[in-house]
Structure 1
Amino acid sequence: MTTDTLASPATADPDALIADMGLRARAAAKRLAVTATAEKAAALNAAARWLRAKANTILEANARDMEAGKAAGLTSAMLDRLRLDENRLGAIADAVEAVAALPDPVGAIIDRAKRPNGMELERVRVPLGVVGIIYESRPNVTADAAALGLMSGNAVILRGGSEAVHSNGAIHAAFVGGLTEAGLPAEAVQIIPTQDRAAVGALLRAQGHIDIIIPRGGKGLVARVQDEARVPVLAHLDGICHLYIDGSADPDKAVALAVNAKMRRTGICGATETILIDRSYGAPQAIVDALIAAGCEVRGDSAITALSPHVTPASAVDWDSEYLDAIVSIAAVDGIEGALAHIDAHSSRHTDAIVTEDEAAARRFLGEVDSAIVMHNASTQFADGGEFGLGAEIGIATGRLHARGPVALEGLTTYKWLVHGTGQVRP
């Protein structure tokens, strides 16, 4: 499929299209479930080579998407997510190779036990099966999802956003070129050949063909998936991340972490959106001034607006906003109690961090904040599967079931019980 053949006669019936793709994915998944680790790794390394070899084609496709995005009025954050260059494309290929080098979770024994009657039990990791992935803006997700799906023994069906349609098509074509060169089925990684929204609905209704849906994108997309899906969903809705500056925080660390957590890349889900500062902390103005100097709009409560004429008053909506832009809300709180209360009321359970030199405060924060990722003296921008040593990631999960935090290879597996007997019968 080229980037210009993104529709086909089959798309007249989206349910039939998804059913056909699902059947082919199921057959590929059965093959992948028993494919040796070395064979999967070789296919991923081949895919990485193809991504590099097709760099000009992929970057030309991305330039078309960027031009269309600017004409359509995409925000600066959306355009940043969409943009590819030689370095970013090289990083995408590197991430595929990193996944190839990771331990294969399939077949790993989680635990084993021997019963009094002599039966031996094992819990062993197995693939989920067929994974549907719906995503927006970021063309790197095409390669990340394909690599993680393949290494964990799953077939994937991809549906990227219309804003990245040419980029996604070019990356997918290169990736599949590597797979087929290595002898694995092209149906292991499929991309829905239409931007018709009805195809998304068909994917969400595809019980029996799809085992799990993973949405990666804005709040509207994730909300729709969670509302309409008839298959299990693994997702996060918002990335309202907090950085709490404790009274004992080192001032240099506090400034550096606040600026990095907010401003390194404002459009990612791990960007800090709210900073909480203990009223007893001695240098709050330095934090505010550093953020403003870095080009960040600061919205604050009355204590923070008093520090600078450049701070605008925060509204009630600000404390529940994922800006994904160079905007931050800052509030003064009464110690760790105030911070914990604010986070409990406003966090999206994605990533929250404390800056402190008080080990007792750090332990309490890490223990009591109920988020997928909780940090001590580290930037929330590290909320990323690659930074966690997981290779690429397919998304961040903030629910409580199956997987939580960065979802990578292990998060794309389930388990089954293996029972070894010697003829035991149940009395």
Structure 2
Amino acid sequence: MDYIAQLEEKAKLANQAARVMAVLSTTEKNNALYAMAKALEEKQGFIINENKKDLANGKEKGLSTALLDRLMLDEARIQAMAEGLRQTAALPDPIGEGISSTRRPNGLEIQKVRVPLGVIGIIYEARPNVTVDAAGLCLKSGNAVILRGGSEAIQSNMAIVKVIGETMEKSGLPKGALGFIDTTDRKVVNAMLKLNQYLDVIIPRGGAGLIKTVVENSSVPVIETGTGVCHTYVDETADFTMAMNIALNAKVSRPAVCNAMETLLVHQAIASDFLPTMLEQFIEVGVEIRGCSETQKYHSAVIAATEEDWQAEYGDLILAIKVVENIDEAIEHIAKYNTKHSETIVTKDYDMARKFQQEVDAAAVYVNASTRFTDGFEFGFGAEIGISTQKLHARGPMGLPELTSIKYLISGSGQIR
């Protein structure tokens, strides 16, 4: 089967569909989203059965428990996916929104409005819920989308696309508005990265290797979503109970996601009081600790950290810990090793909180809260297309406005230059 030819055909259809999508009414788009949500719930048995095939394959390939958790779908997760579509439908439609307007001295009226990006290509790994989130957000923002999921979730993604794709067309959306690459052949991804004629932007969502490959090889413009080497810094004035709860949640609630903590930094003034109990809590729930020489003093199970540990996105129950002299050393460490995703400080000192938020360069910088909140749903965006760690166009969780561009509408009365 010629998958490259199939890809080009899907890209052509998406390009044609994008022109229709751009002018759909809010009601038409919302009705499709509600229908898609209902279809997911009605066909959840079919989707879960297909997901079981991916889980079985994943176990055979030796995927970690954390990655299998990311892959798994059950009734609750499908319900959450459906609810995400309904929340996206309830959000304001960004298309046509007036951003600014001005009247020039020559009488020209100039309006700046939001318009769809056009055709969005999304390349992602493992989590099948991304299929629904991406389709819903692209639809609501008037875009066509071509999806390429990871090989681990191929059966789940094909099932989801079958359910929501058929529903979209029955709801009156144009054929080609949702395209899915149903092969795991990496040559197709390489071809997708060169489809400038049909694709307006590509968004990679996954690990460092995937994102690096897309950024380095794509001739289509890329919105770079980031890997998550996220830090929690416990300052000397921190409330210990709060700090332990935040650190534990940031690491163990879902260790494979990009907003999970990978490195814990602790002020030296409180290390001897804070770390023994904190380490016991981590070890009790199965976290492997890799620490600096100071951290090793507080528990025999702590493995010596290497330079690679400070820059690692483990995506698993592994944590690096370093004792730092003060907030300046913490900020310096973060500046050297972070991926500009999410960082948090736990402190009672207002000045230290302000200093941390002002000086740390990241898409999301927290005070006294877990990094796990960096998420489109938690931020009130309904869902997200990814978390951008770049600084052009979009940064942080990307919701509907980030999937738009702008257009200038100029009205005159015969002016010439």
Name the TM-score, length of structure 2 as normaliser. Answer: 0.97
Structure 1 residue matching 2:204: 3-state secondary structure:
strand
Q: Is the 8 A contact 1:259 1:294 kept in 2?
A: no
Q: Is the 8 A contact 2:224 2:388 kept in 1?
A: yes
- Identity across the alignment (%): 46
In the alignment, the residues of structure 2 paired with residue 119 and residue 303 of structure 1 have an alpha-carbon distance, to the nearest angstrom, of 67
Structure 1 residue matching 2:176: 3-state secondary structure:
helix
| Correspondence for 2:79 | 90
| Correspondence for 2:319 | 328
Q: 240-249 or 278-287, which moves further after superposition?
A: 278-287
| Correspondence for 2:281 | 290
In the alignment, the residues of structure 2 paired with residue 306 and residue 193 of structure 1 have an alpha-carbon distance, to the nearest angstrom, of 52
Q: Is the 8 A contact 1:244 1:277 kept in 2?
A: yes
| Correspondence for 2:161 | 172
Q: Is the 8 A contact 2:226 2:341 kept in 1?
A: no
| Correspondence for 2:299 | 308
| Correspondence for 2:89 | 100
In the alignment, the residues of structure 2 paired with residue 115 and residue 79 of structure 1 have an alpha-carbon distance, to the nearest angstrom, of 59
Pairwise mapping of residues 186-225 of structure 1 onto structure 2 (< 5 A)? 186-225=175-214
* 1:396 is aligned to 2:414: no
| Correspondence for 1:319 | 310
| Correspondence for 1:42 | 31
Deviation, 1:230, is: 0.6
Match of 1:261 among 250, 253, 268: 250
Structure 2 residue matching 1:224: 3-state secondary structure:
helix
Q: Is the 8 A contact 1:32 1:154 kept in 2?
A: yes
Deviation, 1:287, is: 2.1
In the alignment, the residues of structure 1 paired with residue 277 and residue 107 of structure 2 have an alpha-carbon distance, to the nearest angstrom, of 67
| Correspondence for 2:378 | 387
In the alignment, the residues of structure 1 paired with residue 41 and residue 261 of structure 2 have an alpha-carbon distance, to the nearest angstrom, of 33
Structure 2 residue matching 1:255: 3-state secondary structure:
helix
In the alignment, the residues of structure 2 paired with residue 52 and residue 258 of structure 1 have an alpha-carbon distance, to the nearest angstrom, of 35
Deviation, 1:193, is: 3.0
Deviation, 1:237, is: 4.2
Q: Is the 8 A contact 1:26 1:209 kept in 2?
A: yes
5+ long unaligned stretches in structure 1: 1-8
Q: Is the 8 A contact 2:383 2:399 kept in 1?
A: yes
5+ long unaligned stretches in structure 2: none
Q: Is the 8 A contact 1:258 1:291 kept in 2?
A: no
How big is each residue's C-alpha offset from its partner over 1:387-422, in whole Å with a ceiling of 9 and x where there is no partner?
010111111111111101111211111111112223
In the alignment, the residues of structure 2 paired with residue 351 and residue 237 of structure 1 have an alpha-carbon distance, to the nearest angstrom, of 10
Q: Is the 8 A contact 2:203 2:225 kept in 1?
A: no
In the alignment, the residues of structure 1 paired with residue 332 and residue 107 of structure 2 have an alpha-carbon distance, to the nearest angstrom, of 52
In the alignment, the residues of structure 1 paired with residue 145 and residue 349 of structure 2 have an alpha-carbon distance, to the nearest angstrom, of 46
In the alignment, the residues of structure 2 paired with residue 59 and residue 283 of structure 1 have an alpha-carbon distance, to the nearest angstrom, of 43
Deviation, 1:184, is: 1.1
| Correspondence for 1:338 | 329
Q: CA RMSD in A?
A: 1.2
| Correspondence for 1:3 | none
Q: Is the 8 A contact 1:46 1:181 kept in 2?
A: no
In the alignment, the residues of structure 1 paired with residue 179 and residue 130 of structure 2 have an alpha-carbon distance, to the nearest angstrom, of 13
Amino acid at match of 2:386: G
How big is each residue's C-alpha offset from its partner over 1:333-384, in whole Å with a ceiling of 9 and x where there is no partner?
1211111100011101111111111111111111111111111111011111
Match of 2:172 among 180, 183, 197: 183
Amino acid at match of 1:246: D
How big is each residue's C-alpha offset from its partner over 1:253-283, in whole Å with a ceiling of 9 and x where there is no partner?
1010010011110000000000111112352
Match of 1:362 among 353, 368, 374: 353
Match of 2:63 among 37, 57, 74: 74
In the alignment, the residues of structure 2 paired with residue 180 and residue 17 of structure 1 have an alpha-carbon distance, to the nearest angstrom, of 20
Q: Is the 8 A contact 1:49 1:178 kept in 2?
A: no
| Correspondence for 1:64 | 53
In the alignment, the residues of structure 1 paired with residue 237 and residue 110 of structure 2 have an alpha-carbon distance, to the nearest angstrom, of 50
Match of 1:280 among 266, 269, 280: 269
Pairwise mapping of residues 135-174 of structure 1 onto structure 2 (< 5 A)? 135-174=124-163
In the alignment, the residues of structure 1 paired with residue 414 and residue 351 of structure 2 have an alpha-carbon distance, to the nearest angstrom, of 55
Amino acid at match of 2:224: A
Deviation, 1:17, is: 2.4
Deviation, 1:198, is: 1.3
| Correspondence for 1:22 | 11
Amino acid at match of 1:51: L
In the alignment, the residues of structure 2 paired with residue 237 and residue 383 of structure 1 have an alpha-carbon distance, to the nearest angstrom, of 12
